[in-house]
Structure formats: structure tokens, C-alpha cells
Structure 1
Amino acid sequence: MEENSVKTNSFRAWLLAARPKTLTGAAVPVMIGTALTVADHGWEIAWLPCVLCFLFAFIMQIDANFVNDYFDFKRGNDDAATRLGPQRACSMGWVTEEAMRKALLVTTALGCAVGLPLVLFGGLEMILVGALCVVFCFLYTTRLSYLGLGDMLVLVFFGIVPVCLTYYLCQPEGSRTVTLTVFLASLACGFVIDTLLLINNNRDIDNDRRDGKMTLVVRVGHRGGEILYFLSGIVALLLNIVFIVEGHLWAFLLPLIVYLPLHTLAFSHLVKIDHGRELNKVLGETARNMFLFGITTSIGLLLC
């Protein structure tokens, strides 16, 4: 079915609005956090909070996609004629404004409902963590991305928070801590996921500059953005060196063998294509590479 023939507010319309390909960004940090817990404590961990962390991450990712779709449309940033990335539901008329507003309320409420039981495992402070996730989910699109803070938010909410929180909550009762290794692993996760934001912002640099969206790539320029893309993946790999010290050699070697060549290839494609809609190919490669980084790191942790 052609995207321009999508029926308004249909199942396919909502599927496109949810952007399921982005869910790997929600899965990777929880996956790594769970693998870290198993590596340190064996398979007798608390599995219910692991499941809840996965569900919360997935729902909040969809919520963030809806927020991005709706508020960028309201700002007039999703003009179908000039947009270079995948088309958005509201701007294409696949989902009506009223339906999207209701969906925002539903997904936000559902995320809170799924996350609330984590209080039983982590205490009342989990309410604060959940509230911050919801607040920054909205602030990212409406304000902070325009100030060039998107990359920092990725490090925090796609790296530090989900990895460390998953590790903390899934440990056996009475042994809940967060080690330096876990923290460094969370930074590695954040840097590798930031490559997805960087390729998006490299593609959209001209439109973002026109709209006053001062992303990090807009600030450093197109070539600087390309360098940041490459370095972000390299920093993630270098942070994984910590696993060697902890006796998890394969958690470093597998990403080195699998991720590094693919990341380097994607970078070469980025430089060659340079600009335009063709960069969506590199976006797809980056999403794949990001997921493979998560898979290989997690498998490496479980092998040792």
C-alpha cells in the first residue's frame, strides 16, 4: 500500500505514526542493563521489573514519537514538500490533530501505569524518575531540541537512566547498587544511540537552520556533524573496554568485530552522500548498527 493512500486514523496510520523502527532505541539500553545484571548476579534476578522496564521504554518511545509528530506539525516544521526524513502522520493527514492529542494522553497515561509498579522494587523515588521521563519527553520536542540539547538528553534518557535503572531494579533483593562499570556501559549505550540523532540532524541541517532549531550539528556545521557521528560510535566502543577489566572480554570484542566495520561503512556512506533524502539509507544502516551494538554487547556479557 502506498503511503499516500493511508486511510485517516486507520491501524496502518497509527502504525506509521508510532514509527516501530525507532523502538530499537528503546530496547537496546534495557537489553544491556538486563545483560549486565545477569552477568553480575546470574539468572536468578528479578525478571518482573525487567519486563516492566522494557514496556515502559517502548511506550515512552511511542509517546515521544507522537509528541514529535504533533508539535512539529503545529509549529509548521513538517511541510511535506521540504521534509527530507520519513513523512509524519499529522502533516500527511494520516492522523487528525484531535486523534493525536487523545493518543498523547493515552500513551502518557499508559506509560505511567506500566511504570508505577516499579515503586515496589525501587521505592517512591521511581515516581520522580518516571515523572522526569514524561516531562523531558515533551520538553525535548517543544523546547530543548531547539537549544541544541538533544544529544545530552539522549545520553541521559537513552543511556544513563534506562541502563542504570534496569540494572538497579533487576538485581536480587538486598544487593541493589550501581557500579562504575554499569555507569560507563550506560554512557556507551547513550553514545551509540546518539549516532541515530546525529544522522537525523545531519540530514535536516538546512531545514533546522531555517526553523531556528539550533541542534549540535547546526552549531558545528555539516562536516563537524559528520565527524561527531563517527566519533560517537568510536567513543561507545572505547567505553566498552571497561568490560575487559571485569573479565567480560567478549563484551568488547564482539562489538569491535561486528559494529566497528559497519559503523565505519555507514560513516563512509554519510560522507559520500553528503546531503539530501538519500541519507535516509544511512539512517537505516545506523539503526541496524545501533541494534547490533546492543545485541553483541549483551551476548558478550552473557558469554563470560
Structure 2
Amino acid sequence: MKKSNIKYWINTIRLETLPLSFSGVTLSFLVSKFREKNVNVITYIFCVITALLLQVLANISNDYGDCITGIDNNYKRIGPKRPIHYGLISLSEMKKSIFLFSILSFLSGSYLIYQSISYKNISIFIFCILGILFCIFSSIKYSIGIWSIPYGYIVGMGDLSVFIFFGFFSVLGSYFLYTHTFCMDIFLLSLSMGLLNVSVLNINNMRDIENDYDNGKYTIAGLLGIKRAKLYHIISILIAIFSGMIFILLNNKNIYQWVPFIISIFFFVFHIKRIIFLEDKKLFNLELRRLVSIIFLYGLSIGISNFIN
């Protein structure tokens, strides 16, 4: 493969967004490792691999879908121009990559479930396998209409799917695979990470608010308008932080646990300030990358806080 082709594929998989895929599974791993010392590291590794493969699948499918529907164009779109739009990666190559990452996601997810859930517990095993298939299907259909319009083009559905997959599937689902149990306080972390990932999507939607609407992609940002979309963004982050705060309160051992969490909050404060006063939509690209890093730091801060005595 030529170096130029590698560069185009790196652009397509959106390398800068991939920390989102393992932020949730890493957070739940750190919490579960503190609570149960015998948590299998192999389970964590395959959680990360499966999450990465699914996000790459979603990103590739998103580029393919936005290209064939005309969302990715040379007119009002402000987001990064994708190689597929300029013919640097062909539609045929994209179809093959979607198929490849679908297979890899299924194989990785199946092995994850096999070594985490005893095959003797057949009902849970089958339920988890169906869950992997649902994740693969949803990753593709977000931007590619198979039997109907892509659900990512329907108001609120994109936000809801991100909330579910990057929140509850990522945090609560991986926690179950680590510990084979559910804990009520993990719902708080699922809520927190889900809302933070929704805020990343919202930056993307605020950036392309006009182009999306003109091309039939209806998002919450498009429905609210840029000013209210910023308010929606801020509220999502504040609720996420509040949920994380309650989790630490419920698991509080000493005041030092708050130090990593409070440090991460400062980054959110600066982010919110920039969003409020941001007028040049091209700067949303930079803010999106910053927020991805902040979310990863936030997840680590809560996870690490459990080990501070």
C-alpha cells in the first residue's frame, strides 16, 4: 500500500476520535479492577479491540453513507473533506473495508464473549452474541440506509444511539463482562460517559448545521439552532459531570480521591467557555479533538480515584 493511501485511510478512520471507543471500557475496567482483583486483563484487551473495530466500522460507514447521500460536498460543509468524496478511496474499496471491519468486529466480539461468559450459560451467551450483531448493524446503518433512511439523519436518533452505545454498552456492558454483575452506581458512569459522547456528536452537528439541514440530515442541533444547540451542549456536559460527582460521593474514601476529578473539571470549564464564544464554525474541528482528549482524561480521573487511599 502506498504512503498516500495510508494517509487517506488514516483520515477515513478518524484516528483523533478513537480514544472515545476505549474511554468507557477503560473506566469500567479500572472500577472493576479495584472492586474485584481477579478481573481478567484479556477481557479488557478484547473489549478495547472490539470497541476500536466497531468505531472504525462506524466511521468508515459514515463516510460512505455521507458520500452517496450527498451530505459530504463542496458547498456548505465545513468539516474535513473525506478522501472518498475526492475519489482518493473508491466506493468499492469502502464497501470492502466495511465488510472487513464487520467481520473483524464480529470475530473479536465473539471471542470476547466466549472467554468472558461461560458457553454453558447459553442464554446469556446468545444474548451477548446478538448484542455484538446489533452493534455491527447499528454502526453501519447510522449513515447507510439499508431498508430506509439512515437513522442518523432522523432528529435525535444519532444522539440517542451515541448515548446508548458509548454510555451503557461501553461502560455497563463491559463492566458486566469483567465482573458478571451489575451495580447501580455504574449506571451513573454510563450516563456520564454517554452524555459526554453526545456532546462530541453535537459539536460535529453544530459545525455542519446548515449543510446537514439542506441535504436532509436532521439533527438536534439543526432543530434547535446554533444558540440553543450550545445550551444543549453545556447542559449535557454539566449533567455528565454531576453524575460522575455522585459516583465519587457514593464511593468516597478520602478527600484525595477528588483531586484527579477536579483537575479534569477545569478542562471542561475552559471547553465550555470556548464553545460559548466560538463563532467561526471551522474552529469546531479543533474543539472536537480537544473534547475527545478531555473525555479520556475524565474517564481516567474517575477510574484512578478509586485507587487513591
Same fold (TM over 0.5): yes
The alignment partner of 1:53 has SS state of: helix
Correspondence for 1:144: 151
C-alpha displacement of 1:250: 6.9
Aligned residue runs from structure 1 range 131-170, under 5 A:
131-142=133-144, 143-148=150-155, 149-170=157-178
- Find the aligned partners of 2:195 and 2:273 in 1 and give their Cα distance: 19
C-alpha displacement of 1:125: 1.6
Range with greater deviation from structure 2 (185-194 or 250-259) = 250-259
User: What amino acid is the match of 2:109?
Assistant: G
Correspondence for 1:230: 234
CA separation of 1:135/1:169 partners in 2, compared to 1, >3 Å: closer, same or farther? same
- Find the aligned partners of 1:124 and 1:45 in 2 and give their Cα distance: 22
Give the gaps of 5 or more residues in structure 2.
Answer: 118-124, 145-149
CA separation of 1:183/1:252 partners in 2, compared to 1, >3 Å: closer, same or farther? farther
Range with greater deviation from structure 2 (19-28 or 263-272) = 263-272
Contact 1:38 1:302 survives alignment (8 Å): no
Correspondence for 1:294: 299
The alignment partner of 2:281 has SS state of: coil
Aligned partner (choices 106, 109, 126) of residue 103 of structure 2:
109
* 1:189 matches 2:193: yes
Correspondence for 1:50: 44
Correspondence for 2:20: 25
C-alpha displacement of 1:165: 1.6
* 1:218 matches 2:226: no
- Find the aligned partners of 1:182 and 1:249 in 2 and give their Cα distance: 20
CA separation of 1:298/1:220 partners in 2, compared to 1, >3 Å: closer, same or farther? same
Correspondence for 1:4: none
- Find the aligned partners of 1:81 and 1:213 in 2 and give their Cα distance: 15
C-alpha displacement of 1:132: 1.0
Contact 1:29 1:158 survives alignment (8 Å): yes
Contact 1:119 1:127 survives alignment (8 Å): no
The RMSD of aligned alpha carbons is 1.9
Contact 1:251 1:299 survives alignment (8 Å): no
Give the gaps of 5 or more residues in structure 1.
Answer: 1-6
CA separation of 1:120/1:109 partners in 2, compared to 1, >3 Å: closer, same or farther? same
C-alpha deviations, 1:47-83, integer Å up to 9, x for none? 2221111100001111101000111101111113432
C-alpha deviations, 1:2-41, integer Å up to 9, x for none? xxxxx79712221111111111110101111101211211
Correspondence for 2:263: 258
The alignment partner of 2:85 has SS state of: helix
Correspondence for 1:39: 34
TM-score, length of structure 1 as denominator length = 0.90
The alignment partner of 2:18 has SS state of: helix
TM-score, length of structure 2 as denominator length = 0.89
Range with greater deviation from structure 2 (146-155 or 85-94) = 85-94
- Find the aligned partners of 2:162 and 2:254 in 1 and give their Cα distance: 27
Contact 1:251 1:298 survives alignment (8 Å): no
Range with greater deviation from structure 2 (177-186 or 82-91) = 82-91
User: What amino acid is the match of 2:26?
Assistant: M
- Find the aligned partners of 1:164 and 1:251 in 2 and give their Cα distance: 26
User: What amino acid is the match of 2:160?
Assistant: M
Q: Number of residues paired by the alignment? A: 293
Contact 2:61 2:140 survives alignment (8 Å): yes
- Find the aligned partners of 2:254 and 2:23 in 1 and give their Cα distance: 20
